[in-house]
Copies of this chain bind each other. A is one copy, B any other.
Amino acid sequence: MKFKLAISPGASAPIYKQIIDQVRLAASTGKLDSGDQLPSVRILAEELVVNPNTVARAYADLVREGVLESRHGKGAFVARRRKVFTKQERLRRLEPALQAFVNEALALGFLGPEIREAIESKLGSLAQEAPNRTEEVGDEE
């Protein structure tokens, strides 16, 4: 297996969503390449110590989303990379998430410097985790 999933059973995000996010992230940052095979539902469920239904649901969602392809009797594979957007298009698509995040931060009473601080802290923790988690890091700075 090319990458390792880390789920937090106690987290607020549902497990199936954690799996989806991590697979999608790995696929879009190159940690997983087109055609790579994913562990089977049963195997991954065992590794993560979660219910197989939960993994199956995550895979199904990823297939519906176009990130994975499932080949009957073979397993689940990373789908061909989708088209790359222009920067402007990417920014446009990021906008709702950005607005939601900033709104939440403001509503919680955070101010500019604290927001930057939180972002840095999160980016920092990702940068730390990434190299240890895969041989191949597309990450830079």
A residues contacting B by CB (< 8 A) are 9-10, 12-14, 21, 24-25, 28-29, 61, 64-66, 69, 71-72, 82-91, 93-94, 96-116, 118-119, 122-123, 126-127, 133-141
Contact = CB atoms under 8 A, between A and B. Distances in A.
A87 B89 CA distance: 13
Task: Tell me whether chain A's interface is mostly helix, strand or loop, or mixed.
Answer: helix
Given A72-B14, A100-B100, A109 B84 contact: yes
Nearest to A61: B64
Contacts of A21: 103-104, 107
Q: For the complex formed by this chain, how many copies does it contain in all?
A: 4
Contact of A69 (B10, B66, B127): B10
A112 B137 contact: yes
A137 to B, nearest CB: 5
A124 B21 CA distance: 28
A139 B123 contact: no
A86 B85 contact: yes
A107 B28 contact: yes
Contacts of A107: 21, 24-25, 28
A99 to B, nearest CB: 7
Given A84-B85, A85-B85, A89-B82, A112 B141 contact: yes
